[in-house]
């Protein structure tokens, strides 16, 4: 199994970026296949921090980085990110970055609509990242999107732009907003086009070549299974499929290409934005975890909600996404806790559930059933071998493995790239 697909198995921010970067030096290409700059992936290498939103996490190690067709691409955000990362000494050229020419664009009108809807929803808002992700995916599915390849045909874009803008003008009117200024939008597209086109190509072809040569492809998921538009806590989800199967459709390779599915799992649970969260801790324990884990969003800076490990959710995610093995991250954040709890089931109106029911109201009412385990006073921070972990931490990891019915392949013990314990090599297994 040469390829590896990394996905988040909770509500995002599990540490995907760190693990992708760690694996990237052994891969020949790193491919983003869904989401957009709603993602925030943090890499720490020798004390230097890189925050990536659209760029695949392979970019820092110099691995060929590919933005697949399943991504929604904000060209201005991309340009800013490229400038920022180049400012940190990373070289980004058309040699190491490729963008699918059939990738739909996120335009300023998408960001407007995202914001208008969230404001109008008041308390019922999704808590989106405000990046225009949902509206851009709607236009893709509605067959109105402007795509990367359209940037090479701006002189004939008018009818397409008219169709898109007519749709948005009607929506904007409902919010009391003026119509889209088509001329200004076309001008903005003209200005950004050369920057994006430099990287644009049919990436499926490039990846086919990479694959034929027997090279290793690392797929980098964004968000997490519980934010998947089908399988997540709908409607409090993102607007793409975040499950492993999307790696194929979102990059232009077949389903037999995804290889080892590595689910990234935080040793506790976090969520940013609205929606059900059965094990949420709104007390000082949660506050302590949030502080020790620096649980603030990479993209929006919002405080992440924090809770105990939920084995029901992770078991469900692993099943839905065909996870081969997990990487358990941030175990060090639990250091020093007297007791740790794991959710093993839910109680809902007198019945016990071993899965999360589909309806939002049921999800909101699920009461967690906990199993309690002793914590550990020793430090796991920076441990690089399984034998260095305290016995109680090993028991916790083993219990998680049992409950989620999936083996642990990696354990991460700090934000640093090399503070990682390898138990089962995803590129070999
Ligand atoms: P992603 O969206 O899944 O890539 O995760 P984020 O980067 O948004 O959030 C994970 C945060 O945890 C980042 O700040 C990482 O640097 C940090 N992190 C990753 N792994 C570990 C770990 O094992 N221990 C600790 N303490 N922090 C970690
Ligand atoms: P990474 O890749 C955590 C959440 C938002 C909101 C919902 C919908 O860093 O794990 P959207 O802007 O996508 O329409 O917002 O999804 N969300 C994330 N939460 N990590 C992410 O990405 C997220 N991307 C989106 O907070 O609840
Ligand atoms: Mg993140």
The answer to whether 227 and 238 have CB atoms below 8 angstroms apart is yes
Q: Would the CB of 13 count as within 6 Å of ligand 1?
A: yes
- CA distances to 109, 113, 126 from 120, in Å: 16, 10, 11
* C-alpha 241 to ligand 2 mean position (Å): 12
pLDDT digits (tens, 9 = 90+) for 186-198: 999 999 999 999 9
Residues 6 or more apart whose CB falls under 8 angstroms from that of 3 comprise 216, 217, 218, 219, 257, 258, 259, 260
257-279 average pLDDT score: 97
Residue 358, CB-side half-sphere exposure with 13 Å CA sphere: 3
Q: Would the CB of 39 count as within 6 Å of ligand 2?
A: yes
Q: Would the CB of 134 count as within 6 Å of ligand 2?
A: yes
Pocket test for ligand 2, best of 56, 129, 305 (most atoms within 8 A of CB): 129
Strands 97-100 and 269-271: unpaired
Domain ranges of the chain: 4-101+200-260, 108-196, 265-422
pLDDT digits (tens, 9 = 90+) for 33-78: 999 999 999 999 999 999 999 999 999 999 999 999 999 999 999 9
168 catalytic? Reply is: no
41 catalytic? Reply is: yes
Which superfamily is assigned to 108-196 in CATH? Answer: Adenylosuccinate Synthetase, subunit A, domain 2 (1.10.300.10)
Catalytic residue among 13, 150, 228, 419: 13
Cα distance between residue 273 and residue 38, in whole Å: 12
> Regarding the domain delimited by 4-101+200-260, which CATH topology (the fold level of the hierarchy) does it fall under?
Adenylosuccinate Synthetase; Chain A, domain 1 (3.40.440)
Residues 6 or more apart whose CB falls under 8 angstroms from that of 87 comprise none
Q: Would you say the C-alpha torsion 33, 36, 38, 44 has a positive or negative sign? A: positive
* C-alpha 38 to ligand 2 mean position (Å): 6
The pLDDT of residue 351 is 97
Q: Would the CB of 221 count as within 6 Å of ligand 1?
A: no
The answer to whether 89 and 53 have CB atoms below 8 angstroms apart is no
Please state the three-class secondary structure of the chain as a single string: CCCEEEEECCCCCCCHHHHHHHHHCCCCEEEECCECCCCCEEEEECCEEEEECCCCCCCCCCCEEEECCCECECHHHHHHHHHHHHHCCCCCCCCCEEEECCCEECCHHHHHHHHHHHHHHHHHCCCCCCCCHHHHHHHHHCCCCCEHHHHHCHHHCHHHHHHHHHHHHHHHHHCCCCCCCHHHHHHHHHHHHHHHHCCEECHHHHHHHHHHCCCCEEEECCCCHHHCCCCCCCCCCCCCCCCCCHHHHCCCCCHHHCCEEEEEEECCEEECCCCCCCCECCCHHHHHHHHHCCCECCCCCCECEEECEEHHHHHHHHHHHCCCEEEEECHHHHCCCCEEEEEEEEEECCEEECCCCCCHHHHHHCEEEEEEEECCCCCCCCCCCHHHCCHHHHHHHHHHHHHHCCCEEEEECCCECCCEEECCCCCCC
Please check the confidence at residue 21 and state whether its pLDDT lies above 60.
yes
Cα distance between residue 413 and residue 261, in whole Å: 21
The answer to whether 404 and 326 have CB atoms below 8 angstroms apart is yes
Closest by CA position to 35, among listed 140, 186, 190: 140
* C-alpha 355 to ligand 3 mean position (Å): 25
* C-alpha 224 to ligand 3 mean position (Å): 10
Full-model pTM: 0.97
pLDDT digits (tens, 9 = 90+) for 85-143: 999 999 999 999 999 999 999 999 999 999 999 999 999 999 999 999 999 999 999 99
Query: Would you place residue 1 in the very low, low, confident or very high pLDDT band (cuts 50, 70, 90)?
Result: low
pLDDT digits (tens, 9 = 90+) for 139-181: 999 999 999 999 999 999 999 999 999 999 999 999 999 999 9
> Regarding the domain delimited by 265-422, which CATH topology (the fold level of the hierarchy) does it fall under?
Adenylosuccinate Synthetase; Chain A, domain 3 (3.90.170)
Q: Would the CB of 44 count as within 6 Å of ligand 1?
A: yes
Catalytic residue among 37, 41, 110, 231: 41
The pLDDT of residue 299 is 78
The answer to whether 31 and 289 have CB atoms below 8 angstroms apart is no
Q: Would the CB of 233 count as within 6 Å of ligand 2?
A: no
Closest by CA position to 23, among listed 46, 5, 41, 35: 5
pLDDT digits (tens, 9 = 90+) for 409-419: 999 999 999 99
Cα distance between residue 133 and residue 155, in whole Å: 26
Query: Looking at ligand 2, which residue's alpha carbon is closest to its atom 20?
Result: 12
pLDDT digits (tens, 9 = 90+) for 86-96: 999 999 999 99
374-402 average pLDDT score: 97
* C-alpha 128 to ligand 2 mean position (Å): 7
Q: Would you say the C-alpha torsion 355, 225, 407, 247 has a positive or negative sign? A: positive
């Amino acid at each position: 199994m040469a390829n590896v697909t990394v996905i988040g198995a909770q509500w995002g921010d599990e540490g995907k970026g760190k693990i992708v970067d760690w694996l990237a030096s052994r891969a020949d290409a790193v491919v983003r296949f869904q989401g957009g700059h709603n993602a925030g992936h943090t890499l720490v290498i020798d004390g230097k921090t890189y925050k990536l939103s659209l760029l695949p996490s392979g970019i820092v190690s110099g691995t060929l980085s590919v933005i697949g067709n399943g991504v929604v691409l904000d060209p201005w955000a991309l340009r800013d990110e490229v400038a920022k990362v180049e400012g940190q000494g990373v070289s980004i050229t058309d040699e190491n970055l490729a963008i699918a020419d059939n990738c739909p664009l996120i335009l300023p009108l998408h960001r407007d609509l995202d914001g208008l809807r969230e404001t109008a929803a008041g308390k019922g808002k999704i808590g989106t990242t405000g990046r225009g992700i949902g509206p851009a995916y709607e236009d893709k599915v509605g067959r109105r999107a402007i795509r990367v390849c359209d940037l090479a045909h701006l002189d004939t874009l008018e009818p397409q732009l008219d169709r898109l803008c007519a749709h948005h003008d009607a929506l904007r009117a409902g919010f009391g907003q003026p119509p889209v200024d088509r001329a200004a939008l076309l001008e903005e597209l003209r200005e950004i086009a050369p920057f994006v086109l430099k990287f644009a190509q049919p990436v499926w072809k490039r990846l086919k070549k990479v694959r034929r040569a027997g090279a290793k492809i690392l797929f980098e998921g964004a968000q997490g299974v519980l934010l998947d538009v089908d399988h997540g806590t709908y409607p409090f989800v993102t607007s793409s499929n975040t499950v492993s199967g999307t790696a194929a459709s979102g990059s232009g390779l077949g389903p037999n290409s995804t290889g080892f599915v590595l689910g990234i799992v935080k040793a506790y649970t976090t969520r940013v934005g609205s929606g059900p969260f059965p094990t949420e801790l709104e007390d000082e324990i949660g506050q302590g975890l949030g502080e020790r884990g620096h649980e603030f969003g990479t993209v929006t800076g919002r405080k992440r909600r924090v809770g105990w490990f939920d084995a029901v959710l992770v078991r469900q995610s692993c099943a839905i996404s065909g996870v081969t093995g997990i990487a358990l991250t941030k175990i060090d954040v639990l250091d020093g806790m007297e007791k740790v709890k794991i959710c093993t089931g839910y109680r809902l109106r007198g019945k016990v559930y071993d899965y999360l029911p589909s309806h939002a109201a049921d999800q909101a009412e699920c009461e967690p059933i906990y199993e309690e385990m002793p914590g550990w006073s020793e430090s796991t921070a920076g441990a690089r071998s399984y034998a260095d972990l305290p016995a109680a931490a090993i028991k916790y990891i083993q219990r998680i493995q049992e409950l989620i019915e999936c083996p642990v392949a990696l354990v991460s013990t700090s934000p640093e790239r090399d503070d990682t314990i390898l138990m089962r090599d995803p590129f070999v297994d």
